[in-house]
Chains A and B, each alone.
Chain A
């Protein structure tokens, strides 16, 4: 089957900083998680795929179309759902009005059909009761769900979600995971996150980015497996390692070389991610 997204040699610079450095990848149906520290290039990659940012070099194909062509770029936008990192809002709009506004931008011209679609996505994101509430009065989590609601308009074939779980409480995150995993059954979903739990729970594929390139591309299980034999539990803090923290059971979880009196532990996605990023990950840890 032809991939939904193909990227070859993608390069993007801001001034002297190279944010994407000849990156290549292919995405097919399903949910793919994008992990990486701040500045790794995740948002730049997502913005490029969402056609809001043009690369300096390289080739992009989304939904079989070439975004460098004006007509094809518009066609991609018709079939794209995009949740930016900072979606913004008109504070004086109600939740319904804001989603309806985006529906108009997505060419839903017929009022009745448009309203039906707006009600559908508000229901999907659990915001039906807030449809008449002004956006400025919604909580951060509700605004995030509202931003997700607009991304679902028009049954998009490609969903690009930049940190969609920011601001969501645990119950909302669980509902979000259920929604996205259902969406991923029939379309391509690419989401960036700092939450390794989201990746472990939701994504069948994970891509780890660092310094504008890809340092890991595989399954969450595969990422966890890279930490095999390097995760330890001990009752005392390790003397040498800097990658450790105190777990909920009071023991110290150490990544890397075995500390004295430590026992091996089952590695998780987060362990693999932190070990993969090394120095950058120490900040995250």
Chain B
């Protein structure tokens, strides 16, 4: 049956401007679905319609955020940076799982050694050796042509260089520190050991970034890991244990080095463009 009654102009205006309550909207829309005359009378804004379609397109096309991106966004990281960090090769390749496995192995080894009185004093050594260099491995695998398949594309964007490297280093450092902090209390021995790795880890990370202003992050990280392992070997050979490298005096040195190295990195951040440092020397 054709409707003889039509919506009053004032009602159409209130409907179009969104001033009706939901029940009235339903009533008006029921009538509009049957009445072509009233449908023609409803004004529509072309721009509003285009925006509406765009929102629908966006909803349909928008990829679901990756779990890591969702987690970071929930933690307060801006949406675009969360998406960017989730694509960092290191976490994407199960690096965190590897870090967890290495730490679990080090803690288990410490417990097993602790059961033997002759080895008990050395029980935490594997953990203390590994924990400070874990972030370095992550940084070495986070940026550069050998580890990132889209490095060449990325290198020609405004985010290339310091911003990408520092963000990715942070994306690697924070979870490594969190995981190590979770594992450390399970170490046998004095309680101070549970925190003894932190400042060396921060100092070595800052040192890697500082060296990356001259050489590639991979080379910088590799060099510092070698220096760290060499220092532990020398100390172990001379003193019979490696604890001098974790003593209060050593911790104070690491504590002083971290801000100095951080300031150095900040000052030379323009050079954190692996393979491109020559631009800055021309």
A contact residues vs B (CB 8 Å cutoff): 47, 50-57, 67-68, 70, 73-75, 77-78, 80, 82, 84, 86-90, 92-94, 96-98, 100-102, 104-109, 111-112, 114-116, 119, 131-132, 147, 150
Stretch with Cβ within 8 A of A (4 or more), from B25-33, B79-87, B117-125, B126-134: B79-87
Q: Is B78 an interface residue (CB 8 A)?
A: yes
Q: Contact: A88 with B150, CB < 8 Å?
A: yes
What DSSP secondary structure best describes chain B's contact surface?
A: helix
Asked, given contacts A90-B87, A107-B159, whether A100 binds B152 with beta carbons under 8 Å apart, the answer is: no
Q: Which of A80, A116, A147 contacts B156 (CB 8 A)?
A: A80
Enumerate chain B residues within 8 angstroms of A47, measured Cβ to Cβ.
152
Q: Which of B79, B84, B150 contacts A111 (CB 8 A)?
A: B79
Q: Which chain B residues (159-175) contact chain A, with CB distance < 8 Å?
A: 159-160, 164
9 A-B residue pairings within 8 Å (CB atoms) = A68-B279, A70-B273, A78-B158, A87-B152, A98-B150, A101-B150, A104-B159, A108-B80, A112-B54
Q: Contact: A54 with B87, CB < 8 Å?
A: no
Cα-based distance from A94 to B64 in the complex (angstroms): 11
Q: Which of B63, B154, B276 contacts A53 (CB 8 A)?
A: B276
Cα-based distance from A169 to B154 in the complex (angstroms): 27
Q: Contact: B157 with A102, CB < 8 Å?
A: yes
Enumerate chain B residues within 8 angstroms of A90, measured Cβ to Cβ.
87, 92, 149-150
Q: Contact: B152 with A84, CB < 8 Å?
A: yes
Q: Contact: B152 with A105, CB < 8 Å?
A: no
Q: Is B116 an interface residue (CB 8 A)?
A: no
Enumerate chain A residues within 8 angstroms of B58, measured Cβ to Cβ.
112, 115-116
| Distance (whole angstroms) from the CB of B81 to the closest CB of chain A | 8
Q: Contact: B149 with A96, CB < 8 Å?
A: no
Cα-based distance from A144 to B26 in the complex (angstroms): 50
Cα-based distance from A1 to B66 in the complex (angstroms): 47
Q: Which of B63, B158, B275 contacts A97 (CB 8 A)?
A: B63
B contact residues vs A (CB 8 Å cutoff): 54, 57-58, 61-63, 78-81, 83-84, 87, 92, 148-160, 164, 270, 273, 275-280, 282
Q: Which of A70, A84, A87 contacts B270 (CB 8 A)?
A: A70
Q: Contact: A52 with B150, CB < 8 Å?
A: no
Beyond contacts A68-B282, A82-B156: 17 other A-B pairs, Cβ-Cβ < 8 A, are A51-B279, A52-B155, A52-B276, A56-B278, A67-B279, A70-B280, A77-B156, A77-B157, A88-B151, A88-B153, A100-B83, A102-B153, A104-B83, A104-B84, A105-B153, A107-B159, A131-B61
Q: Contact: B83 with A106, CB < 8 Å?
A: no
| Distance (whole angstroms) from the CB of A124 to the closest CB of chain B | 15
Q: Considering the complex, give the chain A residue whose CB is closest to the CB of B154.
A: A105
Enumerate chain B residues within 8 angstroms of A78, measured Cβ to Cβ.
158
Q: Contact: A115 with B282, CB < 8 Å?
A: no
Q: Considering the complex, give the chain B residue whose CB is closest to the CB of A87.
A: B153
Enumerate chain A residues within 8 angstroms of B92, measured Cβ to Cβ.
90, 92
Asked, given contacts A94-B63, A115-B62, whether A74 binds B279 with beta carbons under 8 Å apart, the answer is: no
Cα-based distance from A104 to B279 in the complex (angstroms): 24
